[in-house]
Structure 1
Amino acid sequence: MTTVEPGPPTRRDSGWTSAARGLRNGVANASRIAGAGLVRMGGAIAPVTGVVTPFGRIALASAAGALVLAGVLGWIEFLFLGATLLAAVVLACLTLFGRAQYRVEIGLEPARVVAGERAMGRMLVTNAAPRRSAPTRMELPVGAGVAEFRVPSLDPGGGREELFAVPTARRAVIPAGPALSVRGDQLGLLRRTVRWTEVIELFVHPVTARLQPSAAGLVRDLEGEVTPVVTDNDISFHALRAYEPGDPLRNVHWRTTARTGTLMVRQFEETRRSELVIVQSTDAAHYASDDEFELAVSITASLAVQVLQDGTTMHAVTDALRLRTATPTALLDDCARIEPVAGVHPSLRELARAQTSRLAAPSVVLLVAGSMLPVAEFRGVQRLFGADTRVLAFRAEHGARPGIRSAGLPVATVGRLDELPPIVRSVRG
């Protein structure tokens, strides 16, 4: 069998290839130009199309369909239906005209509460126009809901104050706002809103237990704890030794050097400032219920607040957050933001490794998790840190009897928040 090799392309073939390539490029350029034009057109007509509600789009589509059917089939009923729907949309357009000038202020009192406490909000609407305003409707999103207020006609400089309650049954950060004035028809075909304020937040802090001073931190040093590590530069004197090249001259003990005839330098015992780390797992798989998760957050907040009040350097971390520890208020604000997550870290050990890798070696590590986390995972975290680090675990188990099990690592079971103070005292001892 003879194989025929393809010959070089003819001039005619090259011409067809170039023409096809040019056609493709032309189509691509035309598509890009058309796409950019549609985008600009969409941006230009967005203020118009944006006022049409989903129900309004259904009404317009139904009107168009009814008029087409009336023209094709000659049915007067469809003509009447289409004309009625179009008339409703036209009349709805009349409700959109007009421009209000308001000053709107919203506030929350107080701005921070503990879960279960009462919180009230206030909205003040003032007519800033030189003429009397028309009645309007104001909407104020609060959390997952929307509060609606009817604002009557106001004289120039006149105001209307509205009060509203904010639900604070559970720990959360509840956004309030922005305040919107709404113009539209009663059927809900068209809707135009104007934004008057920014969003403000209400912090609903977790419930905390009051712990005894120094109980939460489980550390008792104020100016440093002496360790067995010997160093050449610290404040706790240990012993003298012979001078070695490179030793700083400021550590030379000249009196002993003069007596012995040999350069002698001081040695010191290393002192360490207490540093505590709280690690809370927020993986939803580690908790049997939402109440158990809230109990764990309250345990973390209670321990952290007392540690800060004791003046101990502290870091608090979760799967998704590194809590601020500058002040107890900032810490509780961040505790209000803690939410369950799923699969961020494969284990508690990996969580502790990832979130503490850039921190200084801690004196104490406190672990907080739920009842669905095996106790063996707590022990896995213990092996991350050196022998000088004390590791304690708190296991939230809603409704369980309190207790402390210790098999190389103290694991305290907390069934109710009011059981935390005696448990901390027991662990400390």
Structure 2
Amino acid sequence: MSRVAEKAPRRVTQAEQALGGIRRALGDALRHARRLTGQLLARGWAFIRPVTDVVGPVGWLVLAAAAGAFVLAGTFGWSEFTYLATTLLAAFLIAVGFVFGRATYAVELQLNPHRVVAGERALGQMAVTNTGEKGLLPARMELPVGNGLAEFVIPGLAAAARHEELFAVPTHRRAVIVAGPAVSVRGDQLGLLRRTVRWTDPVELFVHPVTTRLQASAAGLVRDLEGEITKKITNNDISFHALRAYVPGDALRNVHWRTSARTGQLMVRQFEETRRSQLTIVHSSESAGYSSDEEFELGVSVTASLALQVIRDDTRVSVVTEGRLLKTATPVALLDDSCRIDPVSGRYPTLRDFARDATRRLPDPSVVMIIAGSQVDLAEFRAVQTLFGQDAKTVAFRIDEGATPRVSAVSGLTVVTVGHLTDLPALLRRVNR
């Protein structure tokens, strides 16, 4: 009895193990079957997609109407719906003949120039060449330009013939306008079937913001070779501050031997830390802070004008917005990136939260400029000022379109109200006094 009692649990365990192995095998088989089914469906869809993509919305509507007419004719015996369904299917079959054919095009897409200031004129050119040995029938080309769509009718082209089309690009507002890709369209006049072939890649046109030229060092930056002297005391720098007693580990080159000989104690020099000028521009793109789109664009123009002058002065600058850290290696890079500044909504709870997060990994600035709209309270500007040390000079630019330009001081913060872009040079001269 004792042997039977000892073996009984072992038999149950073996049965459970066998059952678990069967379950695992079934689970693996099901997973394999699902994966195989998914692959088959994906391959099947990839095979039929080129066909289904040719059918336009009107084509699907015609097929659905034909199927419905056949159902009604078969259910109620209405011969009229049989004729309707036959007519619709005939129209669909006739449209199939319009999508066949092969084109031998070489398409060139050019924009002249690639960069303009908002309001300047920009033109585009699309050149189509027949690279085949046979003539081509007339065709239709579509070219997306920004939010619009340009359509061109390409005439019949003989072998090696070339056709050019010119088009104007709307540049009345700052933006990155994408032209292309150029696609040829084959299809019937009713729009049942539509076959497109892509011939070019998209081309970008940068519409830069309007800027104004500022005087050199208009931002009030320190331009001497030694940099800006701060109140921080260090053991190695240029600006001498005081002498103190030697501490083991101090560099011997900083020992002031004449004073040490007079006092009978080693004395070393202390210095005030000097820092090369570093300007940080905090540009708020929060749409709630601006009263209009025009005011938002004025803010972008002010930011771009300030940053451009700093770059020309060969001073380090960082420009941050809610959406990006702008490139500031060259004036062109800055202007290109400024074209991508878009309004945001509710990205940060406050202006201070945005400034703290955006400048966390940036070098300590010597000058901070805050640009925001007229709907931002002055207390928010002051809250941003507290993020930076006392050595940093902070200037707030309040963008208020049409307002009287003025410079005021609010609790130690310099507030510049900008109503027009042309007011900026004079306002900065007043700040520097």
Note the C-alpha offset of 1:256.
5.7
Contact 1:217–1:307 (Cα < 8 Å) also in 2: no
Partner residue of 2:284?
Answer: 281
Partner residue of 1:265?
Answer: 268
Paired residue for 2:253, among 240, 250, 254? 250
Partner residue of 1:46?
Answer: 49
TM-score normalised to structure 1 length: 0.91
Paired residue for 2:126, among 116, 123, 127? 123
Q: Which letter does structure 1 place at the counterpart of 2:304?
A: A
1:293 and 2:296 equivalent? yes
Note the C-alpha offset of 1:146.
0.8
1:235 and 2:241 equivalent? no
Partner residue of 1:355?
Answer: 358
Note the C-alpha offset of 1:229.
3.0
- Two-structure CA RMSD over aligned residues (Å): 2.7
**Equivalences for 1:313-324 in 2 at 5 Å?**
313-324=316-327
Paired residue for 2:192, among 185, 189, 193? 189
Partner residue of 1:3?
Answer: none
Contact 2:226–2:238 (Cα < 8 Å) also in 1: no
Q: Which letter does structure 1 place at the counterpart of 2:51?
A: V
**Equivalences for 1:355-374 in 2 at 5 Å?**
355-374=358-377
Note the C-alpha offset of 1:82.
1.0
Partner residue of 1:401?
Answer: 404
Gaps of 5+ in 2: 1-20
**Equivalences for 1:7-406 in 2 at 5 Å?**
33-253=36-256, 262-406=265-409
Gaps of 5+ in 1: 1-17
Partner residue of 1:427?
Answer: 431
Q: Could you list the per-position Cα deviations for residues 92-124 of structure 1 after superposition, in whole angstroms to 9, with x for gaps in the alignment?
A: 111111111211111111101111110000111
Aligned equivalents of 1:272, 1:38: Cα separation in 2: 64
Q: 1:30 to 1:268 in 2, by over 3 A?
A: closer
Partner residue of 2:6?
Answer: none
Aligned equivalents of 2:332, 2:55: Cα separation in 1: 44
Aligned equivalents of 1:256, 1:393: Cα separation in 2: 47
Note the C-alpha offset of 1:221.
3.3
Q: 1:78 to 1:109 in 2, by over 3 A?
A: same
Aligned equivalents of 2:333, 2:381: Cα separation in 1: 28
Q: Which letter does structure 2 place at the counterpart of 1:426?
A: R
| Range that drifts further, 74-83 or 268-277 | 74-83
Identity of aligned residues (%): 61
Aligned equivalents of 2:203, 2:260: Cα separation in 1: 69
2:185 counterpart SS class: strand
1:156 counterpart SS class: coil
How many residue pairs get aligned? The number is: 419
1:415 and 2:419 equivalent? yes
1:95 counterpart SS class: coil
Aligned equivalents of 1:70, 1:392: Cα separation in 2: 79
Q: Which letter does structure 2 place at the counterpart of 1:411?
A: V
Aligned equivalents of 1:260, 1:71: Cα separation in 2: 118
Note the C-alpha offset of 1:400.
1.5
Note the C-alpha offset of 1:39.
2.6
| Range that drifts further, 154-163 or 28-37 | 28-37
Contact 1:278–1:300 (Cα < 8 Å) also in 2: yes
Aligned equivalents of 2:226, 2:101: Cα separation in 1: 69
Aligned equivalents of 1:311, 1:27: Cα separation in 2: 66
TM-score normalised to structure 2 length: 0.90
